[in-house]
A and B are shown apart, each in its own frame.
Chain A
Amino acid sequence: YSHFLEVMKGHSLEEDQVNFRGFMRTLAHFRPIEDNEKSKDVNGPEPLNSRSNKLHFAFRLYDLDKDDKISRDELLQVLRMMVGVNISDEQLGSIADRTIQEADQDGDSAISFTEFVKVLEKVDVEQKMSIRFLH
């Protein structure tokens, strides 16, 4: 997961410097959503640990060139990090292709953020992108 460390550090703050505030902001994404938070202040600014913010955080990990789209190459890169060396490049490529095809709705061979949200709508992101210690 070392890749994620770097990427996370990279995009959590726009500057090179890692300051404590930025760090905390990044970590805030992983705060679990509490029951009382769900109902209150619908109009207020969206908290960092909302579902869409959690998703966006993950999305940005894929989106290496920051064009708001996950392209095949970007996906491949992430895949390569995650799976071991056992899977051949072609297999990875086919996985990436299929992944994109599955998610792609507007036919641009890339996954936009809306498409990203759509494919994960059945996944309990609130739960899976939360860490207990940030309670």
Chain B
Amino acid sequence: MTSELDIFVGNTTLIDEEVYRLWLDGYSVSDAVALRVRAGILEQTGATAAVLQSDTMDHYRTFHMLERLLHAPPKLLHQLVFQIPPSRQALLIERYYAFDEAFVREVLGKKLSKGTKKDLDDISAKTGITLKSCRRQFDNFKRVFKVVEEMRGSLADNIQQHFLFSDRLARDYAAIVFFANNRFETAKKKLQYLSFGDFAFCAELMIQNWTLGAVGEAPSKPDSQVDDMDMDLDKEFLQDLKELKVLVADKDLLDLHKSLVCTALRGKLGVFSEMEANFKPPAPQNLSRGLVNVAAKLTHNKDVRDLFVDLVEKFVEPCRSDHWPLGDVRLFLNQYSVTVHSLDGFRHQALWDRYMDTLRGCLLRLYHD
């Protein structure tokens, strides 16, 4: 006796959260059954293995049918085939688009192309996440990217509108899309200590301040030319950043800046001497030079991609090697950016603020072990 056909269709579609998770995690039906058995479901319910098998198959089939709709979540809301309560619909969407920290760290900033997709085997082997699940997550990133790529307006809002995500998830996806679009390098060994959350935080700040959308409120150019407002960094702004070089190139300005910072921080900083030493021009680890040079280099795409590598190399690592406490870093960065306003010879105050406000936020977030 073999079962040829075995189905269960409810007027309200039954969703078993546990099985959904197993399905999303990419387990095959038999693996899922084994995992459910291990979780002790047979003892709890008195069911037989055959019942469990049939139940799991059934749910998998349902999820498979729902998957097509999940690719465009508004369709899930308007379709008539599956009657699902709104709260369950939200759960289906949220879970489907959820991603693993380990996975997202692997692909963050990479081009969402076929080439990357080919590497998913390696990622799967490395992270222990099933290939199926990797594919789903990758495809999700790519799908969201494709949909919002050409759109104007707030990136997170666009994502939320077209995929019906929660705020949190929409912001995460905005970061992923932003990173993928700008191809920031995140995979280098020295960046390994950073979490997705760290990058997402930076992405949000950068989207708010450094993109075309950020200046959208006071449009400097006709709207028609402003494309991809939130996705791309403001090229003009990046060009202008070269002007900041004067802060390290002009010796007077540098000295004045240094003395102002030192005066303000004397006695407040536990690592004062190290700080002071780092300000000196010949010092290989000149913090100020580092930060300004990072800014000046951003005109080149290649250097934009290396932004985080540079920030870690030029700022985070020196500070860390001198054992700066986070509080001291904060004090220093505040003073460092504020005192520039007192430099009479420096004409790019607005530009400096736009650069430094964001950078300060990022650096503080990046500064941990």
Tell me, yes or no, whether A binds B.
Answer: no
Q: B residues bordering A, Cβ < 8 Å?
A: none
